A and B are shown apart, each in its own frame.
Chain A
Amino acid sequence: MSSNLRVEARTWKFGDHINTDLILPGPVMLLPFDEQPKYAFQASRPGWVNLVRSGDILIGGHNFGTGSGRPAARSLKVLGISCIVAESINGLFFRNCINYGLYPLECPGIANMVTEGDIIAVDYDTFEVRNVSTGDALPGKRFPDMLLDILRAEGIYPLMESRDMLEPPNPETA
């Protein structure tokens, strides 16, 4: 079993109640699956997708990811976001993060502790978040091994594939 994520990276900061439709707008879902992630935050923060680098961390406010069951977490994962640390994360979005292999962490107080661009360190052994730029630290909310197992497998599909539970993707609906 591979170990839990420990990442140190720069941050992008978003506000409260960031919804799925901002991350993956309805009309964008008509485009080929591979093209959809580049429209993340097109309405609220145009051009952001071109600035993101692999490993970057996204900081959110309260109820991050509220909205629909659409694969918005996948978009952020494909863009290279390593983890999302937010004051709180919407329940459906949290589950999609786990299932798409995008590390989520609820961390009350994070919005005040981080200014966009700060480097922060997130450790999924201790669930601690440390602001490398300022030296401040906060505890995140732990979640059980059952969910970490899915994240360590890079999501539920790789996990199911490793157990020979899935058919190959249907080319007609790729």
Chain B
Amino acid sequence: MAMTMVEKILARGAGLKSVAPGDIVTVEVATAVVIDQNFMHNRMREPKRVWDPDKIVIMLDHIAPADSPMRAAMHKAARRFADKHGIRKFHDVGSDLGICHQLVADHGYALPGTVLACVDSHTCSAGAFNCAARGLGHPEMSYICATGQTWFPVGETVRYELRGALSPLLNAKDIILQIANQWGNHATLNVEFAGDGARGMSMDARRTLATMCAEISTEFAVFEADEICELHVRERNPGVEFEAQFADPHARYLDVRTIDLDTIEPLVAYPDTVVENAHPVSDATSVGIDQAFIGSCANGTLDDFEMAAKVVRGHKVAKGTRFILTPGSQSILLEAIRRGYVATLMEAGAVVTNSTCGACCGYSNGVLGPGETCITASTRNFKGRMGSPEAEIYLASPATVAASAITGTITDPRELV
């Protein structure tokens, strides 16, 4: 039977000839990503034995370095877990610190055609590498670390054919806001991205789009693995073997939707959700902001730092506005320093922090107070997400956020650059 990309990855993981919507399948996990949050309050109970220490990666990310004795104990438990079970891929506070989904990309941990598991809801990020990857919660990670197996319901798939290219200053964030506006929630559904528009996107841009699919509640979000993707993975895993999965020619889709990237305009999601809640940036220009933030697993990439530096070059951050940038990994920060982006941003008055989840989840480095308004290029704008439930969070692309930091109100970046 002809299958979609996700169906083929799941069938392969399950050792089955085919799977179909409505099935529940048990699959082998190729990579398990364990993070600091798993160790907080023993949310992920420790298995007596792990199934394969070489297939488990541990990353301290949500709040690292530690900000409190409680978090320090959590990190200590992660280190002890790694030592005890012989897990060598351990990303501690140091030069390879970063946000887990960014590190999966930086280090090539996601192999095309395989299943990748992590507690965190933005795990769909690895779909950029043709992985069936999604957030699974803490208890499931305990079971996976013990057995290397998990289960998935097989949902229907929607295929997005992306055509053309985004205008300069736009970002994959604008694409997801357009999708969320036009087609709303995708709960229970898989999405796959294909077409010349998808192939023309950088791996950073693909990851932004795949990561943001958590916000429209997809089960899995995957891209085809083209030469750019395969090269990225091979450079980081010399000699590695994998089998990227492509949709069969007559695969059955719930829907096939075409998006002309050239027609997309800068969008901003209004507070509390991105679903059916975005407006043209030009409609929001009366909104004053206290803080502008760029970061997270969705927009902490080198592409994003480059864009932010380009927008603010020669300008100053507006008086009374805070502009905070948090890189997705320390290696991105180092490269952004080498390329001069960080100097440009700091000269404009921005604060650049170390890599961590930080303000995106309201943990550190830019938590919002009551009554404050923030525009953010991160993952999520739920009420209370970045701190006080009485703060308002607008969500947009890095260029829109950077332009807004300069003017102090929500601003179309095309007016500034």
Contacts and interface: CB of A to CB of B under 8 A. Distances in A.
A43 B138 CA distance: 24
A143 B137 CA distance: 19
Contacts of B48: 164-167
**Most A CB atoms within 10 A — which of B43, B74, B137, B153?**
B137
A66 interface: yes
B217 interface: yes
A20 B328 CA distance: 24
A27 B76 CA distance: 21
A92 B139 CA distance: 12
B134 A91 contact: yes
A43 B389 contact: yes
A164 B73 CA distance: 26
Interface in B10-48: 24, 26, 37, 39-43, 45-48
Interface stretch (A1-9, A51-59, A67-75, A125-133): A67-75
A112 interface: no
A173 B73 contact: yes
A61 to B, nearest CB: 11
B188 A69 contact: no
A155 B68 CA distance: 31
Contacts of B45: 157, 160, 166-167, 169
Interface residues of B, number: 51
Contacts of A174: 41-42
A69 B142 contact: no
A54 to B, nearest CB: 22
Interface residues of A, number: 48
A15 to B, nearest CB: 12
Interface string B351-375: 0000000000111000000000000
Interface in A28-55: 29-30, 32-33, 42-44
A155 B40 contact: no
Interface stretch (B252-260, B289-297, B341-349, B379-387): B379-387
Given A26-B362, A165-B47, A96 B76 contact: no
B119 interface: yes
Nearest to A66: B217
Nearest to A90: B217
B306 interface: no
Contact of B362 (A22, A27, A42): A27
14 contacts: A30-B68, A43-B384, A67-B380, A67-B382, A68-B361, A90-B187, A91-B187, A91-B217, A92-B135, A160-B142, A160-B143, A165-B47, A166-B46, A172-B73
Given A22-B382, A26-B385, A173-B77, 11 more contacts: A27-B362, A43-B383, A66-B217, A90-B217, A92-B136, A147-B151, A156-B142, A157-B139, A160-B47, A166-B48, A172-B76
Q: Nearest 10 A-B pairs (CB), nearest first? A: A99-B139, A33-B41, A43-B389, A96-B137, A167-B46, A26-B362, A69-B135, A69-B119, A169-B42, A156-B139
